[in-house]
Amino acid sequence: MDYNQLITYLMGAALAALGWFSKTIWELTHKNRSDISALRETIHIVYMPRSDFSEFRQELFTMLHRIEDKLEKKSDKQI
């Protein structure tokens, strides 16, 4: 076996490994694209938009302040 054949076999093995690696990366990329597409379709159903959360937070704090005011008035009466 001469060096030319050895180099040819090694290059063939390296190219086969590179081809397998490239195919694997390509499949994972394609799978991730389909997963992201599915996520884009359902994300608006699952998560609350920021504007809705801001409104909810404001209403919640308003109610908490009202409760706090009532408790302060209640504690003032007991003294």
Report percent pLDDT > 90 for the chain: 57
Averaged pLDDT score across all residues of the chain = 89
Instruction: Report residue 61 as tokens.
Output: 């704090």
Query: Can you tell me the distance from the alpha carbon of 6 to that of 15, in angstroms, rounded to the nearest whole number?
Result: 14
What confidence tens digit (pLDDT) does each residue in 10-46 have?
999 999 999 999 999 999 999 999 999 988 888 877 7
48: Cβ contacts below 8 Å, ≥ 6 apart: 56
pLDDT of residue 78: 59
pLDDT of residue 49: 78
pTM for this one? 0.48
Q: Where are the domains of the chain?
A: 19-48, 49-79
Task: State the sign of the Cα–Cα–Cα–Cα dihedral 14, 20, 23, 29.
Answer: negative
